[in-house]
């Protein structure tokens, strides 16, 4: 159930850029603060730019700037675009559903669906701002009950 380095590093970079909202930050500096090599960051930042999270400025004093507001950057979304679906299994994925021959009578699918829903619930409610302020989304018990299969 791992998150890959790309997802982790992307979030690290977004945190650095979020702390410097409005300011241009060079790859070099992001590299120092995230402990990710410049070369590898290039790949990741470029992808985040193409996805609309960042803007770039070339030349001397160039770098990257956060485009959106930190409260509008959803962690679940970032992880999905960088790593694919949150679901542990294709059969339970909403964004990339994959059929399975056993599905009609599968006793595991409800479990995978529950896991997916739970992960999605946590990550989709968390924004970059929440992380910057060390404030994780408070999950109301009743909300949680709402989407759970209990029969």
Partner DNA sequence: TAAATGTTGACTAAAGGAGTCAACATTTAA
Partner DNA sequence: TTAAATGTTGACTCCTTTAGTCAACATTTA
Q: Which residues bind to its own copies, rule: CB under 8 A? A: 1-3, 8, 11-12, 15, 34-35, 75, 83, 85-89, 101-102, 107-108, 110-112, 114-115, 118-119, 122-123, 126, 131-132, 134-136, 138-142, 144-145, 148-151
Q: How far is the CB of 136 from its own copies (least distance, A)?
A: 5
Nearer to its own copies, 15 or 56 (CB): 15
Q: Which does 131 bind (CB under 5 to 8 A by kind): its own copies, DNA, none?
A: its own copies
- For DNA, the binding residues (CB under 7 A) are 4-6, 26-28, 37, 39-40, 42-43, 45-46, 49, 56-64, 83
Nearer to DNA, 39 or 105 (CB): 39
The torsion angles phi and psi of 33, rounded to 5 degrees, stand at: -80, -25
Q: Shortest CA distance to 61 belongs to which of 94, 27, 91?
A: 27
Query: Whole-number minimum distance, CB 22 to its own copies, in Å?
Result: 19
Residue 21's binding partner, choosing from DNA, its own copies, none, with beta-carbon cut-off 5 to 8 A by kind? none
């Amino acid at each position: 159930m791992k998150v890959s380095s790309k997802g982790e590093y992307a979030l690290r970079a977004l945190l650095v850029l979020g702390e410097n909202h409005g300011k241009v930050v060079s790859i070099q500096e992001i590299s120092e603060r995230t402990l990710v090599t410049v070369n590898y960051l290039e790949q990741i930042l470029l992808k985040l730019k193409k996805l609309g999270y960042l803007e770039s400025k070339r030349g001397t004093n160039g770098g990257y700037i956060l485009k959106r507001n930190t409260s509008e950057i959803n962690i679940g979304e970032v992880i999905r675009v960088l790593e694919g679906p949150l679901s542990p299994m294709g059969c339970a994925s909403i964004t990339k559903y994959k059929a399975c021959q056993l599905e009609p009578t599968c006793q595991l699918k409800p479990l995978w669906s529950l896991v997916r829903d739970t992960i999605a619930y946590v990550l989709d409610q968390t924004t970059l701002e929440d992380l910057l302020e060390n404030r994780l989304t408070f999950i109301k018990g009743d909300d949680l009950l709402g989407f759970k299969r209990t029969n």
